Every structure is written in structure tokens, then in C-alpha cells.
Amino acid sequence: MFGIQKGRRRKLVSALLLVVALIPIVKIWWTGAPSRQVVLSLESTFFTEPVLPDGKIDYVAAIHNQLREGVTKENNAVAIWMQLHATEHFDGPDGDEFHRELGIDRPAKAETEFDFFLPHLVESKDIHQPEPAMPREQAEEQLLAVRTRPWTADEFPEIADAVASMQGQIELLLKGVERSHAYQPPVFHFLDKRNLMSKLLLLGNTARESGYQFATAAMLHLANGDEDLAWRYCLAGHRLARHLARLGSLIECKIAFEVEGIATQATRAYIQHASDESAKTRLQEFVALGPISNPATTLRLTDRCIMLEMLQSIRYGESIGTEENGLGIFVRLLNVKLDWDSILRQTNQLVDEAAEAFEEPDYQHSMERLEQFLTKLNKIHEAADPIMYSQYDKNENMLGIAVSVFPAINDIRTMQAITQQQADFLQILLALKAYRSETGQLPDSLDALVPRFLESVPQDRFGDQPLQVLVSQEDVELRSLGPDGVDDDGVPYSPEEETGDLTMSLSVN
């Protein structure tokens, strides 16, 4: 009996010693401290400061310290635009800090809630008549028409009424875009999640509508004979796109290219219908805008840090869903075995490769490089977050959310190239009008526009060849191969089918 008790006692002591020995290891797992040291450096963490008390890089502060450079209350477009946005996201000290950074007083409520065109047309004005004032499909057709060609109040009276009622908003938007900078202080979806992925994109929902309103106002003033004001609204749409592209991430870049497309349609109509006399001045003003910021810029800063911040969170066992589902300890167990410094360095290298692809002038080659980037990125994702990668949808964990943004990177590169090509078209058409204004006729070739109106004749951005110029009795048509790189004999480009040529024309008369 005593032998048995002694044996049990020995086993109990051994078990206690084992537990004591495991405490440091369990502590490492539980605190999420990786066993392999990460060196804070440009090559690994990119930023080396500011550092939070737990040793992590504060990527939110690091990025916004750069984005706010040169921004003042007087030159920041966002300080004006926020007068048109509701304040429900700004409760508590987070909202106080937001308005303090903008340099404006915190309103009790928005001075003017942002107003959209569509409700003006489809919502019944008679409370006793529940039927819509106009069928939605008809309203959408009319709204498309008024932003792509000149129109009058007699032709579309309901839209004219909407423009009149929203004039204060449109003028406020115009005042904002004509400022030199645009910076949005960070506001977060979740007060306990202060990270780049939970940052609110406050202007995203209204940016496209703002572009529509500028284009619609431009076409109305053009029809009424006020070419100066019409041109001011055309430029406002292009300025809005450039501000958006500088606000932060690839998501803003994508919206910026969409807004630029809206502005391009209005500017194209303006060029077609406006007189030739002011064409040279218009050309100079358009060129002075400069191109939209290359997505390579945001890739190298904001989107890089989104990825690094997500990896940092996983390194410390903070993937969304791990704690709630009891997987946090397993993530930490795996973290002990990972070489995080190497993972961070690989991620930085990949982001640099993606940025270089956006700067690659050969469109087809740049798309191939982006495909390689996505393949490598997913391998890093799987290595860094294997449990979450295999058991959960990519949209349900922190790194997965970041990675899910990048499949759209090819679409963004295509939008960038289309935007650049259309900007080339607009410059050529304005130069043709300026030439005609001075000589009374169109030139025999585009070379005649250099150097008086153009520094050089733009090439086809989708093929290593000159743009096609087709002249008929009615118009001069400019034609590019488009993203598919194939001559489709002038069939207009279709984003859905990803085929067709990019074209733009100017009436001969």
C-alpha cells in the first residue's frame, strides 16, 4: 500500500515539475510573443516608429503622419466636404479628434445631408400617392443622358428641378475640389479595432454621385450657352478623381478611376459641342491638372502597411475569429515555428514588385507581373495564417480581408491604362480644336500639333504602335487597340466582355 502511494506521489511531483517547466513556453504561446525576433527595419516592418506599448508598430499613426503633410484647414477639401456628411460615425472622443484634425468645429448634425439625384425622380412627392414619381429604369436612363450630352430644363424638367434644389450642395462640392489637398483623418468601424482595415471610407459612397452631379451641371450649362461654367464643372470632376486617388488605398484609387471616367464622358461632350475659340486655354488647363496619382504610390505606402499590419496581428494571434472560435492558442502555437522576419521581408518585396508593375509602360507585361504577384501573395497568406486560410472564408480573417482586396488589382491596372488613354484622346481633341481655331481647318496629321499644342503625339498605350487616326467627311476618330491588344475594327470596348477598341472622335464641322 505504502509503495503504491509513494508511486502516486512520485508521479504527482513529476507532473507538477512538468507543468512548471511548461509555464514559460505556454506564456510565450499565450502572449503571442514569437520565438524568432523581428527586427524593426525598412526591409521588414517598413516603419520603425511609432511603436505601441506592446511592441507593435502603430501603422495607423505612421501612415497618417505622412498623408497629412502640407495639409491645413484652408487647403483641405475634406474640411468642406464633411459639411455634407452625417455625423453618426463620430460619437465620443474619436469624433472629437476627427474634427480637431480637420480644423473645423464639430457640428451637432450635418448642415446638409448628402443628397442624391435618383430619389428626387422616383420618390413620390404626394404622400397619398405611393406610386413612384418615375419608374426607376426611366430615371436611370435620363440620368445617364444628362451627364453625357447637353440637355435643357424643357427636355428633363424633373432633373432640372433636382439640380436647382441641390445647387447649394453642388457649389459646396465645387468649392472643395478646387482646394489643393485632400486628407481624411482616420475614423474606425469598431472603437476596439484601431487598425487600417477597420478605417471608414467616409467619401466612398458619395464620390461617384458627386462626379455625376458635376457632369450633369456641366451639360446643363453647356446647353444654356455658359461654356465657362460648364468647363469649370468638367474640370471639377477630374479634380475630384485626383483628390480621391491621394486619399489612401487601392480602394480609393479604383473609385477615383470610376469618377475620372464620368468626368471624361462630360469633357468629351463639351469638346464636341463647345466653340473652338477657347480650346487652347482649355487644353492648357486640362494638362495643368496632371495625371491621376499612380496606384504604385498607394501600394508602396498604405496597401503595403495594410498587409504588414495584418501579418503583425496574426503574429500576435489576433486574427479575427481566432479567440471567438477557440483557435487563438493554435495560431500562437504555429507562430512559434514561423520565421516572421522572413515573411515580412517577402511581403515587402512583393509589394515593391506590384508597384513596379503599375509603373511598367508595357500594359500586357504589367498584367503578367501582377498575376505573378497574386500567386506569391496567396502563398504567403497560407503560410502565415494556415488555420484560418484552410477553415474559413478569406473574408472572415484579418489577412484574408487584406488579400481579398488584391484580386481587383488587375482591374485597377486596366482602369488606370484606360484612363491614361482617354486623357491622351482628350488632349489631342482639344489640340485639334485649337489648331482649327487658329488656321480654320484641321491638320493633315497629328504631327502638325507638335510642338505648339502638344509636346509629342501620344502612342497607343495598349500596343507598341501609333494611335490609329481615321478621317471621314463627318469626323476625325482616334482609335486604340484597347486592353485586349487586338484591332477590333472600331467595335467599342466592353468592360464586361473585355474586348473592343477605345475610340473618341471630333466632328469635322
The structure's pTM equals 0.86
Question: Between 167-177 and 227-245, two packed helices, what is the crossing angle to 10 degrees?
Answer: 60
Residue partners of 492: CB distance under 8 A and separation at least 6: 500, 501, 503
Which of 224, 244, 274 is the last residue in one of the domains? 274
Report d(CA 339, CA 266) in Å as an integer.
53
Is the residue at 347 inside a domain?
yes
Is the residue at 63 inside a domain?
no
DSSP, res 475: E
Residues 81 and 162 occupy one common structural domain: yes
Structure-block grid coordinates of residue 305: 502597411
Residue 77: predicted pLDDT: 94
Adjacent-strand bridge partners of 57: 51
Residue environment code for 126-138, b if the CB has 16+ CB neighbours within 10 A, otherwise e:
eeeeeeeebeeee
- Give 102-142 pLDDT, tens digit per residue: 888 776 655 557 888 888 888 755 555 556 678 889 999 99
Residues 108 and 253 occupy one common structural domain: yes
Residue 46: predicted pLDDT: 95
Residues 151 and 128 occupy one common structural domain: yes
Residue 275: predicted pLDDT: 96
- Give 366-389 pLDDT, tens digit per residue: 999 999 988 887 777 666 655 444
Which of 408, 441, 474 is the last residue in one of the domains? 441
| Closest to 153 in 3D by CA, of 216, 237, 213 | 216
Integer Rg of the chain from CA: 28
Which parts of the chain register pLDDT below 50?
1-4, 11, 13, 15-30, 32-35, 191, 320-330, 387-402
- What are 278-282's contacts with CB under 8 Å, separation 24+? 278/227, 278/231, 279/430, 279/431, 279/433, 279/434, 279/436, 279/437, 280/430, 280/434, 280/437, 280/438, 280/453, 282/231, 282/430
Residues 308 and 393 occupy one common structural domain: yes
> Is the Cβ–Cβ distance between 241 and 211 less than 8 Å?
yes
Structure-block grid coordinates of residue 23: 509555464
Residues 237 and 166 occupy one common structural domain: yes
Is the residue at 149 inside a domain?
yes
Q: Which domain holds residue 504?
A: 459-509
Residue 325: predicted pLDDT: 44
Is the residue at 17 inside a domain?
no
Is the residue at 4 inside a domain?
no
Domain count, the chain: 3
Indicate the pairing of strand 502-507 with strand 475-480.
Answer: antiparallel
Residues 249 and 113 occupy one common structural domain: yes
Residues 353 and 405 occupy one common structural domain: yes
- Cα 18 to Cα 5, 22, 29, 100, distances in angstroms: 20, 6, 16, 55
Residues 245 and 112 occupy one common structural domain: yes
Adjacent-strand bridge partners of 51: 57
Report d(CA 260, CA 255) in Å as an integer.
9
Adjacent-strand bridge partners of 480: 502
Residues 41 and 109 occupy one common structural domain: no
Is the residue at 12 inside a domain?
no
What residue type is 266 in one-letter code? Answer: A
Residue 86: predicted pLDDT: 57
Residues 100 and 201 occupy one common structural domain: yes
Residues 194 and 92 occupy one common structural domain: yes
Residue 1: predicted pLDDT: 40
Residues 220 and 334 occupy one common structural domain: no
Structure-block grid coordinates of residue 466: 501609333
Residue 105: predicted pLDDT: 77
Is the residue at 146 inside a domain?
yes
Which of 384, 406, 441 is the last residue in one of the domains? 441
Is the residue at 238 inside a domain?
yes
Residue 55: predicted pLDDT: 86
